[in-house]
């Protein structure tokens, strides 16, 4: 058996003089985060307030066409909740397979008003992965775009789903996997609005938001009503949004960015947010100008694509664009387009302590994300949860000092919950260090994470899907450099001796099993993997090999479906 290479000699770790966590020195809760008494800190309370005081104000605009005022949103939410209750769904569990579109709001908040929860799914989910997500969240109702119905038909199972509600053309079969199919709006529109009488408590479960699975498979993070309220309010407070601002993004509401930084942020502020169902680099600036946007958000590679396609921006109002991570050509972006880029922020599905701020930290290292807020204790720890000294690389951990200020665990997964929340602190799985001033410096994500085009890809989850193919004996997925920053996905395969593997046919199979953002760009068939004595695949050795070898096949994913 091959021996593991000896680790290079390193200086011993330095530990903090005191083992306790440190108190954050950043800002505390802002005015929007404290606008309601604690017992009313839910987004349903905010929605009721907006509908009562500014019913005709535009809240959300989808693809520049479909518009939703605060009053319309409140009425639709109440009607959907009434339909759910009338249909006999007690504490309903509603899954959403949608892009940024108007139907998202009544389904998402209607489930919460009916004393249940919503579970937004990535609309690129398909095959066994989609079935696992539906089973994991125990969905009873599934709200789906009409163009994604074939995805449901090809999924092995819909789990506990008892009703499918279709948004759009419903000229299709009345059942899928034996589950009745109904038109979304026709199903709930005739119901009388459910009164806003008994609203949930701040600590009640509001939503399940799936993680990217960077330390295993995707987990369903449990968002309380207060966490949903507090994290989105904190974003608006830090960015200083006003009712006169206009927000715009192509990032989806199935993720924290589209949902919290835009839709819910605009609800707190009382301003308008424009949400796009898809990203177009060549049209992005035209959309920003047409929206009259003052604030926008992109992921780092998107900024590079815009620079490559748009030589000059039209006349616009965009003061600030939040781009994460900081794009390599940030200065060029600012100078060419006449706007300010901010990037110093960090958060994840489970906790959002470092919200983006309109005020940049200048003259600091590029990895600086700033001081944690004063409502958290924080630290950087070793594998035994011992507090490390300033400058020492370790795992970033946080402990909120406000009730329900982070996710409350993982739904139906006590093992993962106990691991992540052990020792009275949340373990992020991300590596960083803190300096003498108390600022956090983010260094890298978990080694099984691949950051691709603004999405976190779980190598573990990708490999689980691949191993279900009858010709595959083993698989290793890992990150390789991308042309525009972040990563591309490379997938190495070992075929079964009795099952010849055709890579073209295999890639075709993958396109029906995986979200588009998880599809590997590179495939390579191998006879064996380098392994440690404990039989772990040494992916770092695979990643060191060049891509321009004849054994490596390059595949381009199919064009993304849009509305």
Find the CATH number of the domain harbouring 100.
3.40.50.980
Domain count, the chain: 3
What's the domain range around 379?
369-405+427-445
Residue 199 lies in a domain: yes
Write the CA distances from 439 to 19, 152, 230, 237, 386, integer angstroms.
18, 46, 22, 20, 19
Of residues 329, 292, 297, 340, the one with CA closest to residue 314: 292
Helix (H, G, I), strand (E, B) or coil at 557: coil
**Phi and psi for 113 in degrees, rounded to 5?**
-65, -30
Of residues 375, 379, 307, 304, the one with CA closest to residue 336: 307
How sure is the predictor about 536, in pLDDT bands with cuts at 50, 70 and 90? Answer: low
Residue 157 lies in a domain: yes
Residue that the structure tokens 């979304």 belong to? 184
pLDDT for the residue numbered 344: 94
Residue 550 lies in a domain: yes
- Assess whether 440 and 511 both reside in one domain: no
Q: Which of 393, 417, 445 is the last residue of a domain?
A: 445
Q: Which of 225, 254, 278 is the last residue of a domain?
A: 225
- Assess whether 439 and 486 both reside in one domain: no
Residue 374 lies in a domain: yes
Helix (H, G, I), strand (E, B) or coil at 114: coil
Considering the chain, what is the average pLDDT of its residues?
Answer: 91
Is the alpha carbon torsion for 111, 116, 117, 123 positive or negative? negative
pTM of the model: 0.85
Look up the CATH number of the domain holding residue 379. Answer: 2.30.38.10
**Residues forming beta bridges with residue 29, ordered by sequence position:** none
CB-based contact 183:174 (threshold 8 Å): no
Neighbours of 363 (CB within 10 A): 6
- Assess whether 506 and 384 both reside in one domain: no
pLDDT for the residue numbered 460: 76
- Assess whether 439 and 458 both reside in one domain: no
**Phi and psi for 515 in degrees, rounded to 5?**
-60, 150
How sure is the predictor about 8, in pLDDT bands with cuts at 50, 70 and 90? Answer: very low
Give pLDDT tens digits for 136-161: 999 999 999 999 999 999 999 999 99
Give the total residue count for the chain. 563
Question: What percentage of the chain exceeds 90 in pLDDT?
Answer: 75
Is the alpha carbon torsion for 361, 487, 250, 144 positive or negative? negative
Residue 35 lies in a domain: no
User: What would the two tokens of residue 51 be?
Assistant: 């509908």
- Which is more confident, 192 or 10? 192
Q: DSSP assignment, residue 19?
A: -
User: What would the two tokens of residue 233 be?
Assistant: 């309010």
pLDDT for the residue numbered 389: 97
Q: Is the peptide bond before 325 cis (omega within 30 degrees of 0)?
A: yes
Residue 268 lies in a domain: no
User: What would the two tokens of residue 118 be?
Assistant: 């919503």
| pLDDT for 10 beyond 60 | no
- Assess whether 206 and 135 both reside in one domain: yes
Give pLDDT tens digits for 217-275: 679 999 999 999 999 999 999 999 999 999 999 999 999 999 999 999 999 999 999 99
- Assess whether 215 and 104 both reside in one domain: yes
Q: DSSP assignment, residue 261?
A: I
Rounded Cα distance between 317 and 315, Å, is: 7
Give pLDDT tens digits for 293-342: 999 999 887 898 899 999 999 999 999 999 988 887 899 999 999 999 99
- Assess whether 460 and 441 both reside in one domain: no
- Which is more confident, 44 or 6? 44
pLDDT for the residue numbered 11: 65
pLDDT for the residue numbered 217: 64
User: What would the two tokens of residue 507 be?
Assistant: 């890639």
- Assess whether 212 and 100 both reside in one domain: yes
- Assess whether 453 and 389 both reside in one domain: no
pLDDT for the residue numbered 201: 97
Spatial strand order of the sheet with 66-69 comes to 66-69, 58-62, 272-275, 246-249, 295-299, 320-324, 340-342
How sure is the predictor about 4, in pLDDT bands with cuts at 50, 70 and 90? Answer: very low
Rounded Cα distance between 272 and 295, Å, is: 11
Give pLDDT tens digits for 39-64: 999 999 999 999 999 999 999 999 99
Of residues 288, 280, 287, 338, the one with CA closest to residue 309: 280
Q: Which of 163, 190, 225 is the last residue of a domain?
A: 225
- Assess whether 441 and 464 both reside in one domain: no
User: Which is it for strands 93-97 and 295-299: parallel, antiparallel or unpaired?
Assistant: unpaired
Look up the CATH number of the domain holding residue 516. Answer: 3.30.300.30
- Assess whether 541 and 468 both reside in one domain: yes
Residue 196 lies in a domain: yes
- Assess whether 93 and 195 both reside in one domain: yes
Residue 180 lies in a domain: yes
Range from 281-285, 442-446, 540-544, 557-561 carrying the lowest mean pLDDT: 557-561
CB-based contact 47:109 (threshold 8 Å): yes
């Amino acid at each position: 058996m091959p021996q593991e290479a000896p680790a290079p000699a390193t200086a011993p770790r330095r530990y903090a003089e005191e083992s306790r966590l440190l108190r954050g020195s950043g800002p505390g809760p802002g005015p929007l985060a404290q606008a309601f008494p604690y017992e009313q800190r839910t987004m349903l309370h905010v929605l009721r307030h907006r509908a009562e005081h500014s019913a005709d104000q535009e809240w959300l605009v989808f693809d520049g066409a479909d518009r939703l005022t605060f009053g319309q949103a409140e009425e639709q939410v109440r009607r959907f909740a009434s339909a759910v209750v009338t249909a006999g769904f007690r504490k309903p569990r509603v899954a959403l397979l949608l892009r940024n579109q108007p139907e998202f709001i009544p389904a998402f908040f209607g489930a919460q008003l009916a004393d249940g929860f919503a579970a937004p799914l990535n609309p690129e989910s398909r095959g066994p992965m989609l079935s696992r997500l539906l089973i994991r969240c125990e969905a009873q109702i599934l709200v789906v775009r009409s163009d994604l119905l074939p995805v449901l038909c090809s999924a092995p199972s819909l789990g506990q789903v008892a009703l499918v509600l279709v948004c759009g053309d419903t000229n299709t079969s009345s059942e899928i996997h034996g589950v009745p199919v109904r038109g979304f709006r026709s199903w709930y529109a005739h119901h009388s609005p459910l009164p806003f009488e008994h609203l949930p408590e701040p600590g009640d479960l509001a939503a399940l938001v799936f993680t990217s699975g960077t330390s295993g498979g995707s987990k369903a993070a449990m968002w309380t009503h207060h966490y949903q309220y507090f994290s989105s309010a904190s974003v608006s407070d830090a960015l200083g949004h006003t009712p006169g601002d206009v927000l715009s993004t192509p990032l989806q509401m199935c993720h924290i960015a589209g949902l919290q930084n835009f839709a819910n942020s605009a609800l707190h502020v009382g301003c308008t947010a424009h949400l796009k169902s898809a990203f177009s680099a060549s049209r992005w600036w035209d959309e920003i100008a047409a929206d009259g946007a003052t604030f926008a958000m992109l992921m780092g590679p998107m900024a590079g694509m815009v620079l490559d396609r748009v030589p000059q921006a039209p006349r616009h109002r965009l003061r600030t664009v939040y781009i994460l991570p900081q794009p390599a050509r940030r200065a060029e972006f600012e100078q060419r387009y006449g706007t300010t880029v901010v990037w110093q922020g960090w958060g994840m599905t489970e906790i959002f302590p470092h919200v983006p701020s309109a005020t940049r930290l200048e003259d600091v290292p590029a990895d600086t994300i700033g001081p944690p807020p004063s409502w958290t204790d924080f630290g950087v720890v070793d594998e035994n949860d011992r507090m490390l000294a300033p400058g020492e690389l370790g795992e970033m951990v946080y402990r909120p000092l406000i009730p329900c200020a982070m996710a409350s665990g993982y739904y139906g997964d006590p093992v993962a919950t106990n691991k992540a929340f052990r020792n009275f602190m949340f373990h992020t799985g991300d590596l960083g260090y803190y300096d003498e001033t108390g600022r956090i410096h983010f260094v890298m994500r978990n080694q099984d994470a691949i950051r691709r085009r603004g999405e976190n890809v779980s190598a573990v989850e990708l490999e689980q899907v691949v191993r279900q193919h009858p010709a595959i004996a083993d698989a290793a997925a890992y990150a390789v450099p991308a042309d525009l920053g972040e990563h591309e996905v490379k997938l190495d395969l070992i075929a079964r001796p009795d099952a010849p593997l055709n890579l073209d046919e295999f890639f075709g199979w993958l396109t029906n099993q995986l979200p588009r953002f998880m599809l590997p760009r590179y495939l390579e068939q191998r006879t064996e993997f380098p392994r440690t004595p404990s039989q772990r695949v040494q992916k770092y050795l695979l990643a060191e090999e060049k891509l321009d070898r004849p054994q490596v096949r390059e595949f381009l994913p199919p064009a993304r479906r849009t509305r």
